[in-house]
Amino acid sequence: MPKTERRIFLLDFEKPLCELESRIDQIRELAAENQVDVSEEIAQLEARAEQLRKEIFSTLTPAQRLQLARHPRRPSTLDYIQAITDEWLELHGDRSGSDDPALIGGVARLNGRPVVMLGHQKGRDTKDNIVRNFGMASPGGYRKAIRLMEHANKFKMPVLTFIDTPGANPGVEGERLGQGEAIAYNLREMFSFDVPIICTVIGEGGSGGALGIGVADRLLMFEHSVYTVASPEACAAILWKDAKKADQAASALKITSWDLQELGLIDQILPEPTSGAHAEPLEAAATLKQALWVNLEQLSEMTTEQRKQLRYQKFRQMGKFEELHH
């Protein structure tokens, strides 16, 4: 991302790093104007900047990771699809009268192999976000998703989904059109598919809106993404009647990739560039492509029954607890 654009979307914890980088740029410009060799000083400052970058991004709180997951310039589903596929054809419509732009999908080739890809799609700016409803899909979106997945299953194409939503559309219209039923139908049907399913949390995975395309043989998650039963703001409003306690809720909810891996809810964490996926989107895309291909190869070696049993057991074990007797 260009430095000028990065400063526009600067997060609070990035400010010390940005100030140091600005200082380096100023010294470079002054040295060029006065024809002075300051290469040694620049090298020292750049080493300090790299060290500071690592310190900041390796000690982020859950609330700060949530800020990164929601970053306006974080790569979206379409960004990743266009970066990792050889061919891509977007398909539209749920065959019941709607085409939801908040959930997109289509057929593609990954390293020459035909696959179906789909995921939530947020906008780049306010106008685009309004069109995409901030990535909050309607019942029509989930019906479009299941139509594409059924197509994949029929023609023996693996399903790759990308999760990035604060939750399903919470409006009255969504409820009127059967939001809960549409998501529940997807959950049931995804368990029955014969083809490999790999889901990746690329940004914010929230509530049933994420689960509607989240039943997988393998569940991957980018390092700075979050996956949660409810947004921290909603959780704080419910528990403490105060949305300002969202930071406290973010810690309690165990929303980070490391928490979820420890709890056994996800299978693999995908490392991000030091400053986050938005800083080096092509590097993040290369990491995603490699992980998808390796997991796809492994799943393809299993029989259909082995995959379905793996999928079933994965979700049966979630939420398992032990009673401790004193």
In a domain, 203, yes or no: yes
Residue 46 shares a structural domain with residue 186: no
Q: Which two tokens stand for residue 193?
A: 């598919």
In which band, very low, low, confident or very high, does the pLDDT at 43 lie, cut at 50, 70 and 90?
A: confident
- pTM listed for this prediction: 0.88
- CATH code of the domain containing 173: 3.90.226.10
Residue 282 shares a structural domain with residue 164: yes
Determine contact, residues 308/191, Cβ cutoff 8 Å: yes
Please determine, for residue 6, whether its predicted confidence score (pLDDT) is greater than 60. Answer: no
Q: What is the mean pLDDT of residues 266-271?
A: 94
In a domain, 325, yes or no: no
Give tens-digit pLDDT for 144-173: 999 999 999 999 999 999 999 988 888 888
Residue 114 shares a structural domain with residue 25: no
Q: Which two tokens stand for residue 144?
A: 């479009």
In a domain, 324, yes or no: no
Largest CA-CA distance found in the chain, in angstroms, rounded: 76
Residue 11 shares a structural domain with residue 104: no
**CA atoms of 133 and 275, how far apart (whole Å):** 27
In a domain, 8, yes or no: yes
Residue 201's contacts (CB-CB under 8 Å, 6 or more residues apart) are: 163, 164, 210, 219, 220, 221, 222, 225, 226, 227, 257, 266
For residues 286, 291, 293, 298, the Cα torsion angle rounded to the nearest 10 degrees is: 170
Please determine, for residue 7, whether its predicted confidence score (pLDDT) is greater than 70. Answer: no
Residue 223 shares a structural domain with residue 279: yes
In a domain, 287, yes or no: yes
In a domain, 291, yes or no: yes
- Residue 256 is given by DSSP the state B
Give tens-digit pLDDT for 279-322: 899 999 999 999 999 999 999 999 999 999 999 999 988 877 77
pLDDT at 214: 93
In a domain, 225, yes or no: yes
Q: In terms of residue numbers, what domain contains 202?
A: 66-316
pLDDT at 23: 83
In a domain, 321, yes or no: no
